[in-house]
Amino acid sequence: AQKVTQAQTEISVVEKEDVTLDCVYETRDTTYYLFWYKQPPSGELVFLIRRNSFDEQNEISGRYSWNFQKSTSSFNFTITASQVVDSAVYFCALSGSKDMRFGAGTRLTVKP
Amino acid sequence: DSGVTQTPKHLITATGQRVTLRCSPRSGDLSVYWYQQSLDQGLQFLIQYYNGEERAKGNILERFSAQQFPDLHSELNLSSLELGDSALYFCASSEMEGFLDTQYFGPGTRLTVL
């Protein structure tokens, strides 16, 4: 069975600090995708990134970067120079052949 | 704005009642997925339709059913409602059939069962 673990339930930082959100996954599929979604206080789920199991290149998009390491089954998300608008719940998700599983989410609070 | 629409935004009803949640996918997307987000269970996949046909089932209760219509919009029917069904229900859509495609989520319908 597929499983996603986000061990950090809540993280609080001060604006401009860097923060890393951890995600560890388990799957028996050889082909799978990993995702990060953001859920701001307004409640919608916003897609941030998708990464397939064959592409271990790290990715950077503005202040966001993602580190995918197959050897440790991890797909971590770093926000550089955090801002108050980054406050949200962030979900890591894993999709394979049969379904999509979400982690429990990490609530990030960025204080001014 | 993801392009996925859901109505209603909020729904308050009583135990034992039946409700219908509606979802319109993004233009061009043939797959629709339903998810339930609750405090105790987190985000759970319920069911998927592709071009009108059921394709995958997750943790969906027998009291719940869904369908996708020829115009590709989908409805999730929840019956004999219980207090524990109170949750945020999301619809998502994607272009392709399987789960190996990006799903874009609607704003959700918040269901409160009193």
Render pLDDT for A40-58 as a digit per residue (tens, 0 to 9).
999 999 999 999 999 888 8
Radius of gyration of chain A (CA): 14
Average pLDDT, rounded, for chain A: 95
Q: Do A44 and B108 touch (CB under 8 A)?
A: yes
Residue A102 has pLDDT above 90, yes or no: yes
Count, in order, helices (H) and strands (E) of chain B: 0, 11
* pLDDT (0 to 100) of residue A98: 84
DSSP symbols for B12-35: EE-TT--EEEEEEPPTT--EEEEE
**Residue A107 touches partner B, C-beta closer than 8 Å:** no
Nearest-by-CA chain B residue for A52 = B100
Mean pLDDT confidence for A59-72: 93
* pLDDT (0 to 100) of residue A55: 87
* pLDDT (0 to 100) of residue B1: 85
Q: CA nearest B5: which of B23, B19, B20?
A: B23
Render pLDDT for B65-83 as a digit per residue (tens, 0 to 9).
999 999 999 999 999 999 9
- Listed in order, strand segments (DSSP E) in A1-112 are 3-5, 10-14, 19-21, 24-26, 33-39, 46-52, 59-61, 64-69, 74-79, 88-95, 100-102, 106-111
Q: Do B105 and A98 touch (CB under 8 A)?
A: no
* pLDDT (0 to 100) of residue A58: 86
